[in-house]
Every structure is written in structure tokens, then in C-alpha cells.
């Protein structure tokens, strides 16, 4: 790890390391509107009454996970670095804001926060910014009675520094801290991500792949990417933004779905992927038996495959992906297609594709970002469905 000293004016010392391939791909994706991990909590107290408790809790969360103190610094070569403070930092600047008129309730406020991207300008700048943005921003909104009362706390974290598994762990810790249980973040600071990234922790025996096999896989991924169909994109003339769509199953529906998965010998992720593929094709009103190719990217938490093994308490980005393509003609049965989805995923995982192909997929993701004309309306999306395997 490189060590950079602070200036003579009493500035804190910083130590840094170059971002890995996975982290770099998320840094490149930020200007396109993705790459934000958002934690959202509703609090019963108003912002003024809760501010001090929130400030203390978030500061404790940062102190427990050194990567949350990091800043993303650009470089002339185009590859950013994670910079970590070597000494104590001033308290986090908690932003206290009123609820915007355009966000009358909590769900619309979540969408508003998803579309705030403090890293986009720095990532898109041609020259490195002198004041690198932190990986964590905290905002506390005062929710007036029409919006439900109380307050809403949001933590926006750069995805290169926090994946989904880590974010779930952080939510549990934050709730405990807000409730007064300081033990949630007790002990020595967790700093696995400070010292090494995902790729550096994969055992060589699991990441090695012959040169020719790597070349064939790269060609295969590229061809499949060009063959993949896309959904139509309606140009409305309005600014693009992220919105949330919620599909709610009640207890009875959930039980029926899980029982059907068990009876057909497939996991829930495979069933949901198959249903989405069939719905996507049906939405395009194609001719009977007209085939289209769709892609599925299955995200995998790799912490248990690393040396030393990590758990979800270790904050950082430790996910990889397995990408499979499927040709759909519209006449497939749901469970037939679900079994096909699961078998292709299982075969790839048994062959350790989630460990051997990380570099290949990162390379192709960056190429897609550099050539947005390859995707519908330059949307920078490399797959129709992204599935987390349960």
C-alpha cells in the first residue's frame, strides 16, 4: 500500500491503494447514473431532535469500518485510487434538509435520493478533482405531517466501497446504534477493504485459467453480448431518472411460490429469472416462435471463497457475477425455463466462472460503458435481468 503524507499545514495523512478491476468498473459506471448503494431509515423523531443521535451513530459506523472514511481520488492515468486517512477525521457533515415539494412521501424521497449522484461530476472530470469526494454521504430529512411526520435518514455509499451484503449488515449495525446499543460497532476497526480488494484475495488455484480458454471465453462473451436483445426505449424528452417498481406477494402467494419451486426442484432466483424472461418477450408482441436472446447476470457474494474468508461484516465490494444467455421463443413453460436457468448457472459456478472470469467481465463492462451506442438509447446496461441467487 502506498503511503502519502499530509501537508505541513496540519492536514491529515492519507494512505491509498489503486482500485481493483471490479471497483474500477463501478467507478466508470457512476456517470451513467448507477453505482450508488442507498440505505434508508424512517425515524419517529423529527430531524432537529434526532440530529445529534444520528450524527453520533453514523460516526461510530464509519469508525467501525475504515473504508467508509475513504475518498475516491482521480489520477492522470484515468484509474482512481482509494485514499484512507491515517489519522482521526473530523465528524461527518450530516446534511439536514426539508422534504422537497416533489417528494410528498417516503417512497418518492427514496427515488429522489437514488438520483442524487455526488460522484458523477468528479468521475466525468477531465482532470483530477483537488477535493476528492468521500464514499459516504448522510442526509436527514425532516418529514412534516403531510409526509408522515418524523424524519428520514439516508446514507449514500459508493458501490465500489459497499456491496449489497455489506449494506444489509450496515443497516443492522446502524439500527442498533440508533437504539443506543453501542456494542454494534465495538472493537477494532474492520479494515479488510483498506488492505486488499476482491481480486487480490482469491486463491490462485481458483482464479487461474489457461490463456486460450480465456481468449475463447472473451470471444464468447462478446458475441453473446452483441446477440442479446434489448427492450424498446421510449424517448419522452424528459430527464432520465431512476424509479422504483415494487412487486408485493402476500404470505399465501409467497408460500405457493416457494412450494412450487420446491416441487419443481429449482431455486426462487431461477423461477423469478424465468418469469422475467418470458414477460420481457411477451411485452414485445413478437411473431409466434420468433426467437430472441436475453442475458442474466447472477450476482454472487464471494466472501466465503476468499483467503482469508470474510463475512458480511467486512464492508467493501466482494461480489462477482456469472453471466448466462438464453434464447427464448415464447412457447417455453415457466418451470422448464427455470430449470434451464438454474442448470446453466450451476454449471458455470461449479466451473468457478465467478472467480476465473472476473477480469473478463470487468473488461467487457468497461467497453460497454465506453461505447454506449451498443445499448438501447445509450442506457449503459449490459443485461436485461440482474438476479441475486438466494
Give the per-residue pLDDT at 330: 86
Residue 212 sits in the same domain as residue 255:
yes
CA dihedral 304, 307, 308, 311 (to 10 degrees): -20
Residue 239 sits in the same domain as residue 123:
no
Chain segment 179-212, per-residue pLDDT in tens: 886 555 555 678 899 999 999 999 998 888 888 8
259 and 251 Cβ atoms separated by less than 8 Å: no
Stretch 14-41: mean pLDDT:
88
Cell numbers linked to 213? 480458454
Chain segment 341-356, per-residue pLDDT in tens: 999 999 999 999 999 9
Residue 254 sits in the same domain as residue 207:
yes
**Predicted confidence band at 390 (pLDDT cuts at 50, 70, 90)?**
very low
Examine the pLDDT at 91 and tell me if it is beyond 50: yes
Examine the pLDDT at 147 and tell me if it is beyond 90: no
Stretch 113-125: mean pLDDT:
79
Chain segment 275-304, per-residue pLDDT in tens: 999 998 988 888 888 899 998 888 899 999
Examine the pLDDT at 2 and tell me if it is beyond 50: no
Chain segment 256-272, per-residue pLDDT in tens: 999 999 999 999 999 99
Examine the pLDDT at 5 and tell me if it is beyond 70: no
Residue 212 sits in the same domain as residue 186:
no
d(CA 202, CA 359): 12
- To 5 degrees, how large is the angle CA 19–CA 25–CA 28? 100
Give the per-residue pLDDT at 140: 96
Q: What CATH number is attached to the domain comprising 89?
A: 3.30.559.10
The residue out of 195, 212, 233 marking a domain boundary is 195
Could you give the number of structural domains in the chain?
A: 2
Question: Got the DSSP string for 36-74?
Answer: EEEEEEEESS-HHHHHHHHHHHHHHHHHHBGGGG-EEE-
Residue 144 sits in the same domain as residue 180:
yes
| Higher local confidence (pLDDT), 215 or 40 | 40
Give the per-residue pLDDT at 120: 81
Residue 283 sits in the same domain as residue 143:
no
Stretch 218-247: mean pLDDT:
81
Residue 111 sits in the same domain as residue 208:
no
Give the per-residue pLDDT at 158: 94
Beta-carbon count within 10 A of 268 CB? 17
Give the per-residue pLDDT at 190: 82
Give the per-residue pLDDT at 124: 59
What is the extent of the structural domain holding 176? 2-195
| Average pLDDT taken over every residue of the chain | 85
Residue 52 sits in the same domain as residue 147:
yes
| Higher local confidence (pLDDT), 387 or 307 | 307
Examine the pLDDT at 18 and tell me if it is beyond 80: yes
CA dihedral 168, 169, 172, 175 (to 10 degrees): -90
3-state secondary structure of 215: helix
26 and 380 Cβ atoms separated by less than 8 Å: no
Over pLDDT 70: what percentage of the chain?
Answer: 87
The residue out of 171, 195, 219 marking a domain boundary is 195
The residue out of 176, 195, 214 marking a domain boundary is 195
Residue 190 sits in the same domain as residue 291:
no
**Predicted confidence band at 8 (pLDDT cuts at 50, 70, 90)?**
very low
Residue 30 sits in the same domain as residue 71:
yes
What is the pTM assigned to this prediction? 0.88
Residue 187 sits in the same domain as residue 257:
no
Give the per-residue pLDDT at 93: 86
Amino acid at each position: 500500500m502506498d503511503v502519502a503524507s499530509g501537508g505541513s499545514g496540519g492536514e491529515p495523512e492519507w494512505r491509498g491503494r489503486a482500485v481493483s478491476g471490479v471497483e474500477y468498473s463501478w467507478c466508470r459506471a457512476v456517470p451513467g447514473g448507477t453505482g450508488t448503494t442507498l440505505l434508508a431509515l424512517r425515524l419517529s423523531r423529527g430531524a432537529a431532535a434526532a440530529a445529534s443521535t444520528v450524527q453520533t451513530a453514523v460516526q461510530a459506523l464509519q469508525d467501525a469500518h475504515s473504508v467508509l472514511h475513504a475518498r475516491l481520488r482521480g489520477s492522470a492515468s484515468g484509474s482512481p485510487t482509494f485514499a484512507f486517512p491515517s489519522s482521526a477525521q473530523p465528524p461527518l457533515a450530516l446534511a439536514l434538509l426539508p422534504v422537497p415539494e416533489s417528494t410528498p412521501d417516503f417512497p418518492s424521497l427514496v427515488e429522489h435520493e437514488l438520483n442524487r449522484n455526488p460522484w458523477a461530476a468528479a468521475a466525468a472530470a477531465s482532470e483530477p478533482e483537488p477535493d476528492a469526494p468521500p464514499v459516504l454521504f448522510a442526509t436527514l430529512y425532516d418529514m412534516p405531517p403531510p409526509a408522515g411526520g418524523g424524519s428520514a435518514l439516508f446514507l449514500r455509499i459508493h458501490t465500489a466501497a459497499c456491496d449489497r451484503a455489506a449494506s444489509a449488515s450496515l443497516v443492522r449495525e446502524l439500527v442498533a446504534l440508533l437504539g443506543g446499543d453501542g456494542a454494534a460497532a465495538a472493537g477494532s476497526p474492520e479494515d479488510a477493504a483498506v488492505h486488499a480488494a476482491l481480486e487480490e484475495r482469491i486463491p490462485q488455484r481458483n482464479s487461474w485459467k489457461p490463456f486460450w480458454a480465456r481468449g475463447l471465453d472473451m470471444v464468447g462473451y462478446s458475441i453473446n453480448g452483441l446477440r442479446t436483445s434489448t427492450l424498446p426505449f421510449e424517448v419522452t424528452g424528459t430527464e432520465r431518472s431512476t424509479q422504483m417498481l415494487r412487486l408485493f406477494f402476500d404470505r399465501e402467494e409467497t408460500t405457493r411460490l416457494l412450494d412450487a419451486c420446491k416441487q419443481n426442484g429449482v431455486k426462487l432466483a431461477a423461477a423469478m429469472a424465468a418469469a422475467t424472461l418470458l414477460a420481457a418477450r411477451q411485452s414485445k408482441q413478437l411473431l409466434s416462435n420468433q426467437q430472441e436472446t436475453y442475458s442474466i447476470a447472477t450476482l454472487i457474494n464471494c466472501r466465503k471463497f476468499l483467503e482469508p474468508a470474510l463475512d458480511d461484516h467486512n464492508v467493501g465490494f466482494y461480489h462477482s457475477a456469472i453471466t448466462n444467455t438464453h434464447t427464448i421463443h415464447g412457447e417455453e413453460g415457466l418451470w422448464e425455463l427455470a430449470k434451464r436457468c438454474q442448470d446453466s448457472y450451476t454449471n458455470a459456478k461449479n466451473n468457478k466462472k465467478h472467480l476465473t472470469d472476473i477480469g473478463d467481465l470487468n473488461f467487457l463492462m468497461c467497453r460497454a460503458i465506453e461505447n454506449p451506442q451498443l445499448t438501447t438509447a445509450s442506457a449503459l446496461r449490459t443485461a436485461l435481468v440482474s438476479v441475486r441467487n438466494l
